[in-house]
Amino acid sequence: MDFEIRPCASMEDVRQAITPIGYYFGRSMPDESQAERLTRVLPAERVYAAWEGGRAVGGLGAFPFHLTIPGGRVSAAGVTIAGVLPTHRRRGVLRAMMRALLDACYRQGEPVAYLWATEDTIYGRFGFGLASFTAEIDLPRERSAFHVPFANAGRVRLASPAVAEELVSPVYERVAAVTPGMFARSSAWWQARTLADPSWRRGTGGDLQCAVFESEGRPAAYALYRMNSIFERGLQTGSVTVIEAIGQSPEATRSIWRYLLDIDWMARVKASLLPLDHRPLFLLAEPRRLGFSLRDGVWVRLLDVKAALSARSYQAQGPVIIEVIDEFCPWNAGCWRVGADGVDRTDKAPGLRCDVSALGSVYLGGFGWTQLARALRVQEVFSGAAAHADALFQASSAPWCPEIF
């Protein structure tokens, strides 16, 4: 190996470490302001780089998150900025960085890692499993009528993103605290990430807009969006691009989406990173007009099987014994008894056998053991074990992460 893997020690190190991933977005080395914004939420020592001849040829980092899982929250590593320069591909650079990063996360007590995969063929070999779907819509405004008209019980007001945090962050937190896949946002995260509006983020859209729905005088839902106003021969052909629309109740969610669908001078409403059980899918009179499509969402990796499974809640079912195969983190390998009364190693025969990536797929409740067994990703040693595990691991809602980190 002709490169050195080590954590960053300065902002200049971070600036170099994020250069490889920036290359694939058509950008040259980021300036100091971009590195400074990142280090507000990602400490330099949590960014690893592959160094060769005094420059970074690869980078990888992990945000310190509190991830919502069924029944609570757990410390998690939000893996990000994974990139290797094309001049150094297929030389083990990513594997070496992943080895160093995940080992460090495990040592500091983060039992779970998760990420958004730029390529879905990469991360399975490191033990990550597809854990959720995310949806996209592209809706003509004239086909956006709800199946039942309703009278709004509140009002919507616009707020500048510069002062929006105090209005929208409590709404987000109430939803995030009970939605597997979401993570707690710090004030630094709101300012440096969610509400930041640098020009390179806008694409063909306009400035970041924030609308807040208030019920009984208090914020109950909000939307962050951009408008792309285009006219062709006097006809409106532009669109509203929804970045994030969150309500703390079904009624509030309905109201904020009705606001978005009714913005004048826009021909379409587009959104991505939506939950699988997206509310407008059932609110609309013509749901097929949404153009509802799915893609993979977050991928999850259990770094410490006992700690991660112990942090999760289970239904009142008898335990199941799972044999876990884990080549990248061999300390997880073996048989585990999982039940509502606890998680422990066991010498008893397993009912299910799987790679650790399958545990990542079922961890947030997005996929079931029977699904994975039918896809030959899980071996059912005893008949009925997968159905029993499904009942044990059942979650009340589909996992959702509303932003790519």
Q: Parallel, antiparallel, or unpaired: how do β-strands 218-228 and 320-325 relate?
A: unpaired
Has residue 1 got a pLDDT over 70?
Answer: no
Is 117 within a domain? no
Residues assigned a catalytic role: 123, 405
173 with 269, same domain: the answer is yes
List, edge to edge, every strand of the sheet that includes 129-130.
4-7, 47-52, 55-69, 72-84, 112-116, 298-302, 129-130
| Residue indicated by tokens 């009624």 | 251
210 close to 224: Cβ distance less than 8 angstroms: yes
Q: How far apart are CA 13 and CA 226, in angstroms?
A: 33
The answer to whether the predicted template modeling score (pTM) of the entire model surpasses 0.85 is yes
351 and 292 both lie in a single domain: no
Residue 282 has pLDDT above 70, yes or no: yes
Single out the residue in 60, 95, 110 at which a domain terminates.
110
Banded pLDDT at 106 (limits 50, 70, 90): very high
* CB burial readout 214-243, b (16+ within 10 A) else e: bbeeebbbbbbbbbbeeeeeeeeebbbbbb
Each residue's pLDDT tens digit, 330-358: 999 999 999 999 999 999 999 999 999 99
Indicate whether 24 pLDDT > 70: yes
Lookup result for tokens 């008898």 = 318
Report CA torsion sign: 188, 192, 194, 195. positive
- Write down the pLDDT at residue 385: 98
Query: Average pLDDT, stretch 186-214?
Result: 94
Name the pLDDT band for 384 (thresholds 50, 70, 90).
very high
Residue 234 has pLDDT above 80, yes or no: no
Instruction: Give the DSSP H or E segment for 378.
Output: strand 378-380
For residues 243-267, average pLDDT: 97
Claim to verify: residue 147 and residue 261 sit in the same structural domain: yes
Inside any domain, residue 403 = no
Which residue is listed with tokens 């939420």?
A: 41
Domain for residue 186, yes or no? yes
What DSSP assignment string belongs to 72-131? EEEEEEEEEEEEE-GGGTTSSHHHHHHHHHHHHHHHTT--EEEEE-SSTTTGGGGT-EE-
Helix (H, G, I), strand (E, B) or coil at 7: strand
Do 175 and 53 lie in one domain? The reply is: no
Q: What is the pLDDT of residue 2?
A: 86
Q: H or E stretch including 23?
A: helix 19-23
Same domain, 49 and 140: no
Q: Is the residue at 116 inside a domain?
A: no
What's at 253, amino acid-wise?
Answer: T
Q: Print burial letters for 51-87: b (CB count within 10 Å at least 16), e (below 16).
A: bbeeebbbbbbbbbbbbbbbeebbbbbbbbbbbbbee
Which pLDDT belongs to residue 237? Answer: 83
What total of structural domains would you count in the chain? 3
* β-strand pairing of 235-236 with 231-232: antiparallel
Neighbours of 208 (CB within 10 A): 20
Terminal Cα-to-Cα distance of the chain (whole angstroms):
30
Do 339 and 309 reside in the same domain of the chain?
A: yes
How far is residue 276's CA from residue 293's CA, in Å, rounded to a whole number?
10
Last residue of a domain, one of 296, 330, 353: 296
Residues 37 and 157 in one domain: no
- Give the whole-angstrom CA distance, residue 282 versus residue 244: 19
Residues 143 and 195 in one domain: yes
Please check whether residues 201 and 86 belong to one and the same domain.
no
Q: Where in the sequence is the domain holding 56, given as residue range(s)? A: 4-110
What are the pLDDT digits (tens) for 133-184? Answer: 999 999 999 999 999 999 988 999 999 999 999 999 999 999 999 999 999 9
Is 229 in the same domain as 336?
no
Both 336 and 280 in one domain: the answer is: no
DSSP state for residue 234 in the 8-state scheme: T
Residue 344 domain flag: yes
Handedness of CA 69, 40, 402, 177 (dihedral sign): positive
Q: Does residue 127 lie in a domain region?
A: no
Q: Which residues pair with 403 in a beta bridge?
A: none
In a domain, 388, yes or no: yes
Read off the CATH number of the domain in which 82 is found.
3.40.630.30
Residue-wise over 4-31: b if at least 16 C-beta within 10 A, else e? ebebbeeeebbbbbbbbbbbeeeeeebe
Which whole number is the average pLDDT over 251-268? 97
Summary mean pLDDT of the chain = 96
Last residue of a domain, one of 267, 296, 325: 296
What pLDDT, on a 0 to 100 scale, did the predictor assign at position 29? 81
Residue 399 placed within a domain: no
Same domain for 292 and 324, yes or no, is no
Note the pLDDT of residue 283: 95
Contact between 205 and 228 under an 8 Å Cβ cutoff? The reply is yes
CATH of the domain at 333: 3.30.1050.10
